[in-house]
Structure 1
Amino acid sequence: MAANLQQQRSINEQLRREAVVPRIQVSEACQLMMKYVLEHEGEDCLLNGFASQKVNPYREKNSCSIL
């Protein structure tokens, strides 16, 4: 019973923290995300590619060779 009470207190505390989080409408959040993406698309390596293969963290490191 004590474990259940502690679990309920934990849930209650989490709900209290979530209740004070500022909320915005989905349409406003989408507009803000689109604005951010458009402002930062020049810095996005996945859109523009990498200056060289050395700075590409997704490149294949070494190929496996079996003798």
Structure 2
Amino acid sequence: MDMMVSSLQQQRAITDQLRREAGIKRIPVSQAVEDIIKYITEHEQEDCLLVGFSSQKVNPFREKSSCAVL
């Protein structure tokens, strides 16, 4: 009996999730790609991977020194 109740609750949760997903506004892929390209071109001057870092100290990807003086 408990197994049937938990299965029913699980199915209701899945149904609720599918209803929420069905209500999401969708856009065509072509429009999404245009939006992504627009965003990238507007923010390319802020992209450190494209323009680099102003100094090594602000680079979070630099190799850390493994030697420490105590």
Structure 1 residues 1-67: aligned runs within 5 Å? 1-63=4-66
The letter of the residue matching 1:25 is P
Q: What TM-score, normalized by structure 2, do the two folds share?
A: 0.83
Runs of 4+ in 1 over 2 A off after TM superposition: none
Q: Counterparts of 1:62 and 1:12 in 2: how far apart (Å)?
A: 53
Is there any run of 5+ residues in structure 1 with no aligned partner, and where? none
State TM-score, norm by structure 1: 0.86
Task: Give the number of aligned pairs.
Answer: 64
Structure whose alpha-carbon radius of gyration is higher: 2
